[in-house]
Structure 1
């Protein structure tokens, strides 16, 4: 996997996380834009290096229209570069935040259903590959220029031996944690489905289904199923779909 970064030019920094940075880059050969996740391997613990290698392995397997496409990975100067497809219309978290600040009302039902169906297509495919995403949230769901939606960021995804296996590590973003994870119980693909319900709710209402002043209170609200009612103007079918995923 050794190589160098001479094939790409960095355009701008677009994100920064626990393990490294995400850059918008341009290929010298094709002129196309990509995103490279830059992970500093120096000083990393063995488990962290395994997690980085796991992300590469998972991404390289996934080939679906609603999943961010892997291009290549290589190391250079102690950095692991994971080069991926660039979705140039941002992510759902940005769309939700912009909508909240400028209009204050949720997206149209047609738009919500279109996005939700695409998320479900991606998730169905991912689960068929015996992979749990484990961190589904609006910030990890990206939009291409054609309004095509793509699920990405498999940094904490887990591969199962078979579809009946369960994961045990409590991990993910608090607002989208399933009751199983909150109880620190074994969990499976249903925890990803739970997150889809939370995202659907957020697209309709522009706020999280479960909110609290601290993490402990948030966990209790999730376990008790205490969330704000969906607005009356939302159709019964969409309400039932969101309610089913959150109460499933």
Structure 2
């Protein structure tokens, strides 16, 4: 069966839609249950309502990734069955801490900085959405990464970006399908498994050593070589970041995006 070149971006969009729906639920709970006049008194109920929302979204992300990995493996013509790996369990204390820091702690910091209660509520909401989306999407990202590591037929995975990646994500995408594990070395762009709050990137598996670059990643690779020539390590990273912020980002067009 022929490999569908649109599959990686389609998968990324499905994960993004799931995360957006979860964000709507998080915001609704925050706005309806949080009392800015009684932050500490109302927070425990808010946190209790938020936790299952994040946990369920994390499992949904993992389910989407398992199906996508199985389909990608089949489409690549790989014989034999392989059960995709599960994500690592989300520790309860980690989830509670993430919610505490982006909820009441962020609210109080905003108030101390002179924000109005409504402004503080909004600031905390932004932080909370970014953090909870990270934890939810981590489910699918870990399925992809752990499955590639465990699959002898997989050669690596690539980073798939949205239409407006930051310099860090564009840099990692420029490597193409080379990430096999967290220990990938030999390049300052080695952290393929590193994501950030509000990051829309996903991982996509590769099954041959001459796997084509996804989308515009090959162009980004050429950009990386040009902008970092003669530099190494953090100096190369900084050079690429300066170029990306000055002109590269404005020129970038993800697959399916119209030209200006």
TM-score (norm 2): 0.29
Q: Which protein is richer in strand relative to its size?
A: 1
Structure number with greater Rg is: 2
Q: Which protein is richer in helix relative to its size?
A: 2
Higher relative contact order, structure no. (Cα contacts within 8 Å, ≥ 6 residues apart): 2
